[in-house]
A and B are shown apart, each in its own frame.
Chain A
C-alpha cells in the first residue's frame, strides 16, 4: 500500500490536463494509472514506417470486436473510436477544436428533449480561450460569430487548400457561408512544441506539431511532477465512508498483482465509457448500486455525434485536385444553428481524405507513366462529411458486460434503445450534402451515416443541479462524495454538433483552475 496525494485514472488528454493543473497548484504525490502502454511518439523510424506501410504504431491499441456487446436500435461498433495508452485518443485525433454554440447549453429548454447545462456559454467563454491556448488551436475569428469570443485564437489557421475551390463555389452559390475549421496545429512554435512543417502525416506527426495528449506528460514526467504507471487497470474506487474515498484498487497486468493506492483526491479521467464502468464496479456498503449510482444515472444518457457522409464523382479533374494536406480545413456551420436544434444541428466539412490518388500504388501494379498521368486528370472523387448534435436519453447507457478484454478491463455493454437524433434530421442533412455536391457539378454516389464508433461519447456521468438528475455537481464531484471528481466527456450534460474535446477541456479548467476573480480552486483534500 502506498499513500498518494492525488490519484488520476487515465493518462489521456484529461488526465494530463488535471495532472498539470494539480502540479501547478503545488499538489505533491500525483500518480496516474493508465490501462495501456506508452506509445512512442516523434520517432523517425516509426514515422518512416507510417509513410511506407501506412501502419501507425497504435493500430492495435483499440477495442476489438470481442471487447463489447452492442444492442438496440443503433448498435455501436466502437472499434477505432478510442485508444488505450499514454496520451489516450488524442494520439490519433484530427485536432478539430470548434466551440459549442450558446444554444447547445440550452438543449432541453429549446427543444423539449435532451438536457440543459447548469451554466451558459457566457459562463464558459473565458475558459474556452484558455482551452484553446492549452490545446494550441489555430483558427480564424469571424465578425458577428454566435460563439462570441473575448480573446483571439492563439494562432492563425492554415490557408484553405485549392481543393476547397469547388466546395466554396458551391456553398457561395447556395448562399451559405464557410470558415476555417479550428484545429490543434501549431502555426507557430508554442508550449515548447515546434511549428507545423506541413509534413501532413498528421496521424503520426514526426515533430509533435499537432497537440496530442502525451505532450503534457512529457512535460510533467521530465520535471518529476507526476508518476505515471502504465499497464495498470483501476478496478475499484475504495470508500472509507459514504462521503469519502480511501483510494483506488488496481490490477497490474504485467504481474497479475492487485494493488491499492491510498489517495486524498481521486480524479476519474478515463473517458465516457470507462468512468461509469469503474463507478458501477465500485460497489460498497455505502453505495450498493455502485459509487454515485443511487438514482441509476451512472452510465445512462450515453450520447455521441452521429457522423454523416456524402461521396461524389466528377469524370475529369483538369485542375489536378488532390488533398495535399491531411488536416481538416473547410467547414460550414450554417446548419449548426438554433433553428436546426430540434431535428439535429449539423457541422459540415470537406473531407481531407479525398480526393487522393496514390501513384505509387498504380506503379506497383504495373501502370506506366501515361496511365498514371491520365489518372491524375481523370475521374475525381470528393467527400463531404459532418457531425450532428444528439439527444441524451436515460434509456441509452453503457455498463459492464461479462468477461474481460486483453487490456484487463471489464468488457463493455452499450445499449441504445432510443435514436440519438431524429431520423428526419439525418436525412435532411444528407440531402443538404447532396445539394452541395450536385452544385459542385459532382454526381453523388453514396451517402449515409457512418456506424457509430463512439469517438465523441459523452454524458454518461452528466453534470447538473441535483443528485436526482445528475451524477456530478458543477465542481465535477460525485454528489455526496467529497474527494472523487470526474474530468471527462462523461460530465457534459448534452452535446452540440461540434467536437467535444475543446469544450471538455474548458469545463475542467473552469472547475479546477478558475480565472482571477472567480472562486478559489475546488481541490479539497481535507
Chain B
C-alpha cells in the first residue's frame, strides 16, 4: 500500500524525477532552500549539508560569546538560557540539514584570529557584537548573519525579555494560560 512519504524535512520533499518536470521540481527545491539560507542575512549559510557535532571546547567558546550578551546588555539576571540548553540547541543546529556546523566553525576561527589581533578573547567577543567594526575580516558576514544575530535572539527569548517588563515573548514557553498566574500579562478581568 502506498502512503504519503514519511515525515522528513520539507526541503527534501521536492525530488527530481522525470526530466519533463525535473526543472519545476528543482526550481521549487531551490526556491525553498534560498528562502531559508537567505532569511537571516546576506551571507549564504556555508556547507549546509555537512552535519556533525561541535567539540566541547568549541561549545565552551560559544557559551562565553553568548554570555557576553547578558553582561553587555544587563540581561544576565533575567536569562534562563543554561549552558546545557545552549548545547542542545547547538546540537540541533549542527546535527540536521541545513547544518550550522561550518558557520559556527568559521565564526570560531574568526574569533581566534580577532583574539590574537586584539589581545584577548573578551575583546574579540565584543568586536563580533559591534556592527560598526572597522575592518571586517573573512567569515565576518557569516558570523554576524548566522551566529551573532541568532544568539541575540535566543538570549532575549530565553527569559531576558523580562528585563523590559514583559511576561512573555513568542518563542518562550510560558505554560498553559489556564494556570494562575497566567503566563502573559492580562486585563484585570481578562476572562
Measured CB to CB, the residues of A under 8 A from B are 11, 34, 37-41, 43-46, 48-49, 51-55, 57-61, 85-86, 140, 156, 158-165, 168, 187-188, 195-202, 217, 221, 224, 227-231, 252-257, 320, 322, 324-326, 357, 359-360, 363-366, 368-369, 372-373, 376, 406-408
Contacts and interface: CB of A to CB of B under 8 A. Distances in A.
A473 B58 CA distance: 67
Contacts, number: 218
A10 B92 CA distance: 33
Contacts of B184: 161-162, 198, 324-325
A218 B9 CA distance: 16
B176 interface: yes
B170 A326 contact: yes
A54 B13 CA distance: 21
A269 B14 CA distance: 23
A255 B2 contact: no
Given A161-B187, A364-B148, A324 B28 contact: no
B10 A162 contact: no
B40 interface: yes
Nearest to B153: A360
Contacts of A200: 168-171, 174
A34 B3 CA distance: 12
Contacts of B190: 159-162, 164
A140 to B, nearest CB: 8
A221 B3 contact: yes
Contacts of B84: none
Contacts of B187: 159-162, 164-165, 168
Interface stretch (B59-67, B109-117, B135-143, B156-164): B156-164
> Which 9 pairs between the two chains have the least Cβ-Cβ distance?
A256-B18, A37-B13, A159-B190, A228-B4, A198-B174, A162-B185, A254-B17, A55-B39, A324-B184
A364 B144 CA distance: 9
18 contacts: A45-B96, A57-B11, A58-B10, A156-B191, A187-B176, A198-B183, A200-B170, A217-B4, A228-B3, A252-B17, A253-B25, A320-B166, A324-B184, A325-B170, A325-B184, A359-B156, A364-B131, A364-B148
Contacts of A161: 184-187, 190
Contacts of B50: none
Nearest to B154: A52
B12 to A, nearest CB: 9
A72 to B, nearest CB: 29
A57 B12 CA distance: 11
A164 B7 CA distance: 39
Interface of B: 1-5, 7-11, 13-15, 17-21, 24-25, 27-28, 31-32, 35-36, 39-40, 69, 72-74, 89, 92-93, 95-96, 129-132, 144, 148-150, 152-157, 161, 164-178, 182-187, 190-191
Nearest to B17: A254
B4 A221 contact: yes
B14 A364 contact: no
A37 B14 contact: yes
A51 B157 contact: yes
Contact of A162 (B40, B92, B153, B186): B186
Taking chain B's interface residues, is the majority helix, strand, or loop, or is none over half, making it mixed?
A: loop
Contacts of B35: 55, 59-60
If over half of A's interface residues share one DSSP class (helix, strand or loop), that class is named, otherwise mixed; here it is: loop
A37 B9 CA distance: 10
A233 to B, nearest CB: 10
A230 B74 contact: no
B127 to A, nearest CB: 12
B167 A324 contact: yes
Contacts of B14: 37, 231
A325 B168 contact: yes
A196 B177 contact: yes
B22 to A, nearest CB: 8
A140 B191 CA distance: 9
A86 B4 contact: yes
Contact of B153 (A46, A52, A188): A52
B44 to A, nearest CB: 13
Contacts of B3: 221, 227-228
A201 B152 contact: no
Contact of B93 (A48, A165, A325, A326): A48
